Homo-oligomer: A and B are copies of this chain.
Amino acid sequence: LEKLYIIKIGGSIIDDEIKLSAFLKDFASIEEKKILVHGGGKLATQLAMQMNVPQQMIEGRRITDSETLKIVTMVYAGYINKNIVAQLQSFGCNALGLSGADGNVIQAHKREHHLIDYGLVGDIDEINSDFIKILLDRNITIVFAPITHDKKGGLLNTNADTITQEMGKALSNYFETEMIYSFEKEGVLLDASNEESVIDKLDIKTYNTLKEKELIFAGMIPKLDNAFLALKNGVSKVVIGKAEKLKDLICGKAGTQIVND
């Protein structure tokens, strides 16, 4: 099988023009087939303030009312996505930006939760991997914004880590798929305050122990759950680490590698 990198870029690097640009240059230089999934950064929160739309976060998730959906659609699928695509084009990478509605690539439904109403937040039902493969086979690099749709005309705000994991699962039928979650930290840290305490390899047993001891911080848990799930579902490798070290993450010189046993 041909190799495919699915790389998530998130955290504060999205808001840092210079760091983001350096990351995109590194990303563009990857010769294998590749997909980029980006998060939102702080811009949506800033715009919401300017537009006087109050924002509510529960456990790191944005409660998405209709005005907030409008904002995230503008910021994620518009501003961030198109600027990333234009920059990749300038680095000679033929990028194409998509939301889940485009080409019906990611179909979702509004999240049902017995306690919390997350609003217009999507849980993924289906990935149109046939179409994604056609684009990849033409050497197009897809850049996904974390917005999906419900096939009934509605857009849904969707977690970018989850999109990355579902994408890995769906595409590992066609490719030897490697996932990289890149953000502002060096990797999974034993001590959250010490960037040098990176765990090189993390297996599910150690992960569960660390979770019990509450040594894994909140934002990391869904990322790691997604990572282990991806490995279970056909993805061959998952690495978590610092966006600025993308090249080292790829060749195993930095970050935390997630392993299944």
Contact = CB atoms under 8 A, between A and B. Distances in A.
A103 B140 contact: yes
A73 interface: yes
A94 interface: yes
Interface string A89-111: 11000111111011110000000
A49 B117 CA distance: 32
A75 interface: yes
Q: Copy number in this complex? A: 2
A85 B78 CA distance: 13
A53 B89 CA distance: 28
B99 A85 contact: yes
A219 interface: no
Given A78-B74, A96-B103, A102-B97, A90 B153 contact: yes
A147 B77 CA distance: 13
15 contacts: A50-B50, A50-B52, A70-B79, A73-B79, A73-B83, A74-B74, A74-B78, A75-B78, A82-B99, A82-B155, A86-B155, A87-B153, A89-B153, A95-B103, A96-B103
A82 B83 CA distance: 16
If over half of A's interface residues share one DSSP class (helix, strand or loop), that class is named, otherwise mixed; here it is helix
Contacts of A82: 73, 77-78, 99, 101-102, 147, 155
Given A50-B51, A74-B74, A79-B74, A153 B94 contact: no
B70 A86 contact: no
Contacts of A151: 89-90
A213 interface: no
A222 interface: no
Given A50-B50, A51-B50, A85 B101 contact: yes
